[in-house]
A = this chain, B = another copy of it.
Amino acid sequence: MDEKIQRRISIAVDMDGVLADTETHFIQYYEAESGEKVDRKSLLGVPENLAFPDKTAVRRYVHTPGFFRSLPLIPGGVYAVKTLMEHFDVYIVSAAMEFPLSLYEKKQWLEEHFPFISWKNIIFCGDKSVIKTDYLIDDHLKNLDHFSGIPLMFTASHNVHSNHHHRLNNWEEILKYFEIIRRNA
């Protein structure tokens, strides 16, 4: 029998907005601070930093100690990443370098919620254009537009009007997408 050594397909997975529910967290922080509950619909198609009545809020929250450590999970992410890892090389790739205080908090958050991911597969960077994986799942155009592999846009309120990348709305759709990739590989 011929032995076939095949390189596994690699997938880079963004954190904020893809694994971690920054949107819900922003809304909760905003309500706790101002007493005002912002309707999620008002965030549609608006950049996150401009989506709240107080335009300084988001910028302040991402520099607040504890913000990244306490992010809630996007539903289905933990199960999906674990499932993808059976057949793909999965890397967590976060543009964390913009917020240096978040570096340790993000690592701790991953250790809590994704303890099955090795430190070898975690990347905190600035510009994602130098990441050489086959796929990138991300909610931000600034990352998807300059990625050298196949970009997949994870739906977030801020990107609902963008249509130049293949869109996947949730982790269920991602699992289905890669199940087809795997069968055709």
Q: Which A residues are within 8 Å of any B CB, using their own CB? A: 10, 12, 91, 97-98, 100-101, 103-104, 107-108, 118-127, 130-133, 148
Cα(A33)–Cα(B12), bound, Å: 42
Q: Are B125 and A124 in contact (CB under 8 A)?
A: yes
Q: Are B127 and A121 in contact (CB under 8 A)?
A: yes
Q: Is the interface of A mostly helix, strand, loop or mixed?
A: mixed
Q: Are B103 and A119 in contact (CB under 8 A)?
A: no
Number of copies: 2
Instruction: From A12, A107, A124, A131, name the one whose CB has the most chain B CB atoms within 10 angstroms.
Output: A124
Partner of A122, one of B104, B126, B148: B126
Partner of A104, one of B98, B101, B131: B101
> What residues of B have a CB within 8 angstroms of the CB of A10 in the complex?
130
Nearest B residue (CB) for A108: B100
Q: Are B126 and A125 in contact (CB under 8 A)?
A: no
Q: Are A97 and B120 in contact (CB under 8 A)?
A: yes
Instruction: From A108, A118, A130, name the one whose CB has the most chain B CB atoms within 10 angstroms.
Output: A130
